[in-house]
Amino acid sequence: MFSLGQIFVFCLGLFILVAWFISSEKRKDKRIFSSLRESLDNVIRRVTNYLAVKITYIGRHTIKLSWYYGVHKILRFILSLLVQFYDFLEAIFTKNRDRARKLKLEKKQLSQNEGHLGQVAEHKASVSLSPQQKKKLLQKKLERG
């Protein structure tokens, strides 16, 4: 495969050769070396077609490649933003989960202290009679008999 520098030098040489032939023909107003000129025209036509195909291919390839790299960079940037957003949400989620666990433990401890028996004990303590009231009640019971 030819490098771009080699192709450029080859094209430049062909251009100079053709320009020299054309200028000398215009000076004499007739074709010089008509059979050689026709073969040179065929060679130039083939080379031009070959170069047109290669340059078109290289141009398309370069444009496609740069397009793919551009899209890749944009997608990579979006992915990094998504990762940062995910990490942010993960931190919030972890804090929320820890708070929920803490509240659940507090609720469990409160419910153990204030279960049915705990409520009965609280009610009993709140409605219990004072020592003086207990003595009066005991005396009334004894009097009734």
Mind listing the pLDDT tens digit for each residue in 96-125? 999 999 998 888 777 666 666 777 777 888
Pick the closest to residue 129 from 117, 113, 118, 140 (CA basis).
140
The 8-class DSSP code of residue 69 comes to: H
Q: Establish if 124 belongs to a structural domain.
A: no
The 8-class DSSP code of residue 29 comes to: T
Overall number of domains in the chain:
1
Q: Establish if 33 belongs to a structural domain.
A: yes
Q: What is the pLDDT of residue 98?
A: 94
Residue 85, φ and ψ in degrees, nearest 5: -65, -40
Helices (H) and strands (E) in the chain, counts: 4, 0
Q: What is the pLDDT of residue 112?
A: 66
- CA distance linking residue 63 with residue 58, whole number of Å: 8
Query: What count of other Cβ atoms lies within 10 Å of the Cβ of residue 25?
Result: 15
In terms of residue numbers, what domain contains 36?
4-113
Q: Establish if 127 belongs to a structural domain.
A: no
pTM: 0.41
Q: What is the pLDDT of residue 114?
A: 63
Structural tokens at position 4: 């771009």
List the chain residues with pLDDT less than 70: 111-116, 145
Q: Establish if 143 belongs to a structural domain.
A: no
Structural tokens at position 122: 């609280």
Q: What is the pLDDT of residue 113?
A: 62
